[in-house]
Amino acid sequence: MADMKIVFLGTSAAIPTEKRCLSSIAVKRGGELLVFDAGEGMQKNFLQAKLGINKKMKIFITHLHIDHCLGLLGFFQTMSLLGRTKKIDIYGESRLREFIHENFRIINIELAFEIVIHVIDKEGVIASEDGYQISCCKADHSIHAFSFCITEHPRPGIFDVEKASKLSIPKGELYQKLQFGEDVFVNGKLIKSNQVVGPKRKGRKIGISGDTRPTTELKDFFNSCDVLVFESTYNHDYQSKAIETFHSTSTEAALLAKESNCSKLILTHFSSRYDDPKILLEEARTIHGNVDLAEDMKTFYVPYAE
């Protein structure tokens, strides 16, 4: 079973502050890194968080606003200089390819690793791995923008060792086969997996909103997330500003998380007007029972629900 943690590398909207870098979130699942957005300056926090230079990595760009993608170039170069050799898969809208290619051409960057650009041209699953998949949904922002979900595949059920021993199943390989759903023969007798293994258990689901207004589509998309990271640029006093700029308030983030049955909500992407975004937390907590504030370099572990 893979450990999973969310590390915030940048939590400020539009303008960095003394304490907050521009948008970037890293999710470390086992030995793999999933990075969502790369705001300018995020590489410093990435290095400080010691997330690993040569780990298997995918990067997802929610949209091409400068505070979400300008950190990519420096991040690539730093990893290359520090010895990265593994390829990176990067996902985003069609102009992401242009953005990377044009910048590489003009600045003449040469990297020691390959970058594979995946243009997102549809909603739904965009990347599949052994234990999880990444899906995307259109967000409602001032330009083309996406929200993402990491959804783990269900885990095998609980293995009943006592029952297995009563059935004289020898420990080792057969246990493993049964655990993963295979039926086996023991002394010529068929033992079905479900005789000793309980029902499959739900994997974890993490939602990442990017910049967006709350929408019904996103409410469905984020349904039953264990952790939902949702942008909360403003508090309720700035509701009209949120509508005008296609962002969300902490009240709206909390309402969406509640209506989507998300177990935990983490607010991020705070306007630089909030020196301390505590006011956003307090507001959201009146609506949802489990809310936290993201901070640069803060880590949240994501345990299994059961």
Distances (CA, A) of 301 to 9, 122, 231, 238: 15, 30, 19, 31
Helix 95-107 × helix 72-81 angle, to 10° = 60
Q: How far is the CB of 31 from Zn ion (least distance, A)?
A: 30
Per the document, the length of the chain is 306
Q: How far is the CB of 197 from Zn ion (least distance, A)?
A: 45
Q: Which CB sits closer to Zn ion, 65 or 264?
A: 65
Nearest to 81 by CA among 115, 60, 109: 109
> Which tokens belong to 3?
């450990």
Q: How far is the CB of 213 from Zn ion (least distance, A)?
A: 13
**CB nearer Zn ion, residue 104 or residue 246:** 246
Measured between alpha carbons, how far is residue 38 from residues 62, 91, 113, 166, 197 in Å? 10, 12, 18, 55, 43
Catalytic residue among 3, 37, 67, 140: 67
If the CB atoms of residues 147 and 151 are measured against Zn ion, the closer one turns out to be 147
Alpha carbon distances (Å) from 187 to 159, 161, 169, 184, 191: 20, 18, 9, 10, 10
Q: CB of 14: closest distance to Zn ion in angstroms?
A: 6
Rounded to whole angstroms, the Cα distance separating 192 from 183 reads 4
> How many C-beta neighbours within 10 Å does residue 188 have?
5
Structure tokens, 207: 């939602």
CB closer to Zn ion out of 103 and 272: 272
Min. distance of Cβ 134 from Zn ion in angstroms?
20
Best CA proximity match to 295, nearest among 21, 65, 5: 21
| HSE-up of residue 284 (Cα within 13 Å, Cβ side) | 30
67 is catalytic: yes
Minimum distance, C-beta of residue 159 to Zn ion, in the bound complex (Å): 46
What does the binding site for Zn ion look like in residue numbers (CB under 5 A)? Answer: 13, 67, 211
* Residue nearer to Zn ion on the CB measure, 42 or 191: 42
Q: Identify which of residues 231 and 283 has a Cβ nearer to Zn ion in the complex.
A: 231
Angle between helices 250-259 and 278-285 (to 10 degrees): 40
Active-site amino acid positions: 67
